[in-house]
């Protein structure tokens, strides 16, 4: 598992099951992912790269990876984050922070875990 909290204290059976979810996610269409490139760079993947493969070589919970070739001939892997991820994560973390602040008076301070996880995802 990845994330700020790591796998501290999580039973191995859960880690294995959750890794399946994060490492073998269903892929998104190239059109959907190309729209992300267009939004981020102002041009499509076909304009940005000499070539870009429409079928991803990997798809996980946060993004998928496509093979591409730069204009200078360098082969690269292009990691494209799913388009709804930023919006979904912003609302999810707002909920996590609210829940964390509500249970803190009861002696359970989980704010550090939420902060670590949020920072790890932003770096991703």
pLDDT 10s digits, 3-28: 445 556 778 887 777 676 665 678 99
**pLDDT for the residue 49:** 98
With a cut of 70, list the residues of the chain below it in pLDDT. 1-8, 18, 20-24, 105, 122, 124
Name the phi and psi angles at 78, rounded to 5: -110, 115
Would you mind telling me the total number of residues written for the chain in this entry? 124
Tokens of 80: 């494209």
CB 53 within 8 A of CB 67: yes
| Residue 80 CB neighbours (<10 A) | 21
Regarding beta strands 58-59 and 75-81, do their DSSP bridges make them parallel or antiparallel, or are they unpaired? unpaired
* Cβ 120 vs Cβ 5: under 8 Å: no
Q: What are the C-alpha distances in Å from 38 to residues 44, 57, 70, 83, 97? A: 5, 20, 16, 11, 32
If you compute the radius of gyration of the chain from its CA atoms, what whole number of angstroms results?
18
**Residue 79's pLDDT is what?**
94
């Amino acid at each position: 598992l990845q994330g700020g909290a790591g796998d501290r204290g999580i039973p191995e059976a859960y880690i294995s099951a959750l890794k399946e979810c994060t490492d073998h996610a269903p892929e998104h269409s190239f059109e959907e992912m190309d729209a992300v490139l267009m939004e981020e760079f102002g041009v499509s993947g076909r304009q940005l790269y000499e070539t870009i493969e429409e079928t991803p070589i990997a798809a996980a919970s946060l993004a998928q990876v496509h093979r591409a070739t730069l204009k200078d001939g360098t082969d690269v892997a292009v990691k494209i984050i799913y388009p709804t991820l930023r919006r979904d994560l912003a609302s999810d973390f707002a909920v996590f922070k609210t829940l964390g602040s509500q249970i803190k008076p009861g002696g359970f301070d989980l704010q550090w875990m939420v902060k670590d996880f949020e920072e790890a995802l932003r770096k991703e």
